[in-house]
Structure 1
Amino acid sequence: IELLTKLGYKVTITKHEESGRGFISKGFLDDAKEKANFNVNLFKELITKETPLVGIEPSAILTFRDEYLRLADDKTAAKNISENTFTVEEFIKQEFEKNSITSQSFTTENKTLKIHGHCQQKSLSGTEPTFKMLSIPKNYKVTIINSGCCGMAGSFGYEKEHYNLSMQVGEDTLFPKIRNTENTTIIAAAGTSCRHQIKDGTNRISKHPITILREALLQK
């Protein structure tokens, strides 16, 4: 909110229900449908091309764009919301490409960043918007880690019976690559569960991409 406000955008927070992603991941589709119908009814008069819905947690915001199309009873409203729903990385990338946001607003410090993509983000949005957004500061050297799932997979890795498997998945690709980075390299990860897993598996602190861009803003 602070970053977008300082960049000149009017941000409104609407009191809404959770996305229902947790219910979907566990198969409680009736509960997820209830959340979807509530949120679609709430947002259908608020979300337009000029007033998009923007979120920071990939699995939550992308539920509005994907699963709501099938879960919600009001298909027309769900479609309109879906078409105007963006991750914050997508939104800022689009605004940068329209020259509404420029590199002049950000630091010229030299920094190295590596991105770990959230699984659902990679499936429905891709990591390119994150790459483009974090490349807005002129001297940020950004690369995408060629990795699979961190192993957390939503709540999967939090469950005692899945812990060992969860860590094995992380060790397959992601953890070794993070351990091999310099301590000065900033690790970007949009998913909350990804950041927890990276901390537990490598003892490295990763940051949400929007936090990194906020820290790069010249106007503090």
Structure 2
Amino acid sequence: MDNKLDWSAFAEQGMGDAYAGIPKQGGDFAKAVAVCIGSGHCERNQRGVMCPSFRITQDPEQSPGGRVRLLKQYLNRDLACEPEPQLMAALDQSMDSCVACKGCKRECESNLDMAQIKAEYLAQKLVQQPLSRRDWLFAHLPQLLYRHRWLGKLIGLRNRAAYLAKLSDHWLGISARIALPELATRRFAPEKRVYYPYQSLSDRPPRSVVLWIDPFTALFHPKQADDALHVLRSAGYVVWLVHPESQADRVLDSGRTLFSKGLIDSARQQASYLLEALAVHVHFERPIIGLEPSSLLMLRDEFLTLGLGEAAEKTAKKALLFEEFLARESQMADFALKLVAEPQSKPLLVHGHCHQKAVGAMKSMRRVLRLVAGLQFKMIDSTCCGMAGTFGLESEHIDQAHAMAAQGLLPALAQQTEATIISNGFGCAYQIEQLSGRKPLHLASFLASLIKRPR
């Protein structure tokens, strides 16, 4: 097995342990699979994220532990024989139902990283069979939307013409039961690459930060980028912008969509371009701040599995979610961001993206919201919202996606129909909008609304 990702971090896993159960084939990848100790923790109904697919099916094979058991059977097979069709069908179904939420990476006693294991699994499948039309389209969507602007109009036309929705369902496997996200009327394309604070808030020289704007934010929610820039400038920072069009000859992206579909080589190339663009900022020790959890956390997690060396390691150490950065800076003596809340008439609900939860960033969300005097808010306890990248748009998965949302998210929203909702994930916010008819705010937009705009 020629591994597509770098699994060397697991090289010593289980060595000398007769009970480790490391499969015969797969090298360090097999050792990553074998971190599972079979405790069954992922096959219980509990608080937290893990495991969305098990929760809605109650099928042990649709849990991280079940996937490990099937993978071990596959990796322990006799290579001289074809794998049993029954095993392959069960393994394909089990891996297909994984939404790569990373709940197991945080909540499993052994920190099993099934999201990364799934990426390797999909990459191995592509050695034997080509990517489907739909998955190719979704994998390359950020690049396609920038290079072929007519695609944005086609999405709108598809949403308004039932026959086109049915055609895309039949031909591509994109469900006709849900509208596709539509591009904003203007994309985020700043005139400058660096913006200075509105005013000095202390005697020290202003610190510099990098605001990395991913393609989904730039194309679909440019106001979120404007609002984040406003918050950071109001807090006294010099803000350097890196966005999809920062380099004239390519579209800068984290490669998340490519990675999630198993296109590891393409994701590696995309990551190398972004690392190149960020290198000067890493050299000057500037924090790299991102708004979209799945994109920013690529820099901190998946980039380290792509064999990109020291550049990836240094960048990972500087990468922070917007809320993580503000929470950290709020502990500094000279932090002086003034957040003035109006008398609150609506309750505030906060839904976390699965990857935010996986890295513990919801603690940062709490800390930042507590900077607003008198603000009352509640964190929604739920598993994955069900959108999970493109999972909630796919014909064969839409019922599962809705069932996941119904586990905790939708009941919480139904209990407080007048609440303002904060949700930082692009997919999460879209799922909430589609299933409840309510539009969530990004934390950056909520905070910007509490800061007076300079004249």
TM-score (norm 1): 0.92
Aligned residues: 217
Alpha carbon RMSD of aligned pairs, Å?
1.7
Query: Which segments of structure 1 move beyond 2 Å, counting only runs of 4 or more?
Result: 99-103, 108-112
Does residue 197 of the first structure (1) align with residue 431 of the second (2)? yes
Q: Within 2, Cα distance between the matches of 1:48 and 1:88?
A: 20
Structure ranking higher on relative contact order (CA contacts 8 Å, 6+ apart): 1
Local SS of the residue matching 2:330: helix
Question: Shift of residue 101 of structure 1?
Answer: 3.1
Question: Shift of residue 81 of structure 1?
Answer: 0.7
Question: Shift of residue 206 of structure 1?
Answer: 0.8
Equivalent position of 1:9 in the other structure = 237
Equivalent position of 1:143 in the other structure = 378
Please list the CA deviations of residues 160-203 of structure 1 after superposition, one character each: whole Å capped at 9, or x if unmatched: 222222111111210011111140x2211010110010011111
Q: Within 1, Cα distance between the matches of 2:307 and 2:280?
A: 15
Q: Within 2, Cα distance between the matches of 1:211 and 1:43?
A: 25
Q: Within 1, Cα distance between the matches of 2:420 and 2:313?
A: 37
Say whether the 8 Å CA contact 2:340–2:372 is kept in structure 1.
Answer: yes
Q: Within 2, Cα distance between the matches of 1:11 and 1:51?
A: 10
Please list the CA deviations of residues 17-47 of structure 1 after superposition, one character each: whole Å capped at 9, or x if unmatched: 1101111111111111111112222222222
Equivalent position of 1:106 in the other structure = 339
User: CA separation of 1:125/1:47 partners in 2, compared to 1, >3 Å: closer, same or farther?
Assistant: farther
Equivalent position of 2:225 in the other structure = none
Question: Shift of residue 6 of structure 1?
Answer: 2.1
The one-letter code sitting in structure 2 at the alignment partner of 1:172 is Q
Q: Percent identity?
A: 29
Gaps in structure 2 of 5+ consecutive residues = 1-228
Say whether the 8 Å CA contact 2:235–2:336 is kept in structure 1.
Answer: no
Question: Shift of residue 204 of structure 1?
Answer: 1.6
The one-letter code sitting in structure 2 at the alignment partner of 1:106 is L
Does residue 58 of the first structure (1) align with residue 293 of the second (2)? yes
Q: Within 2, Cα distance between the matches of 1:110 and 1:163?
A: 40
User: CA separation of 1:187/1:100 partners in 2, compared to 1, >3 Å: closer, same or farther?
Assistant: farther
Q: Which stretch has the larger CA shift, 85-94 or 122-131?
A: 122-131
Question: Shift of residue 158 of structure 1?
Answer: 1.5
Matches within 5 A, 1:38-187: 38-48=273-283, 50-73=285-308, 75-102=309-336, 105-111=338-344, 112-183=347-418, 185-187=419-421
User: CA separation of 1:217/1:167 partners in 2, compared to 1, >3 Å: closer, same or farther?
Assistant: same
Local SS of the residue matching 2:239: coil
The one-letter code sitting in structure 1 at the alignment partner of 2:422 is A
Question: Shift of residue 98 of structure 1?
Answer: 0.8
Q: Within 2, Cα distance between the matches of 1:160 and 1:207?
A: 28
User: CA separation of 1:153/1:58 partners in 2, compared to 1, >3 Å: closer, same or farther?
Assistant: same
Q: Within 1, Cα distance between the matches of 2:283 and 2:371?
A: 26
Local SS of the residue matching 1:101: coil
Say whether the 8 Å CA contact 1:44–1:78 is kept in structure 2.
Answer: no
The one-letter code sitting in structure 2 at the alignment partner of 1:96 is S
Local SS of the residue matching 1:207: coil
Local SS of the residue matching 1:188: strand
Q: Within 2, Cα distance between the matches of 1:27 and 1:35?
A: 14
Q: Within 2, Cα distance between the matches of 1:28 and 1:186?
A: 38
Say whether the 8 Å CA contact 1:49–1:84 is kept in structure 2.
Answer: no
Q: Within 2, Cα distance between the matches of 1:48 and 1:139?
A: 40
The one-letter code sitting in structure 2 at the alignment partner of 1:156 is F
Q: Within 2, Cα distance between the matches of 1:100 and 1:179?
A: 41
Say whether the 8 Å CA contact 1:57–1:190 is kept in structure 2.
Answer: yes
Q: Which stretch has the larger CA shift, 163-172 or 61-70?
A: 163-172
TM-score (norm 2): 0.46
Q: Which stretch has the larger CA shift, 107-116 or 55-64?
A: 107-116
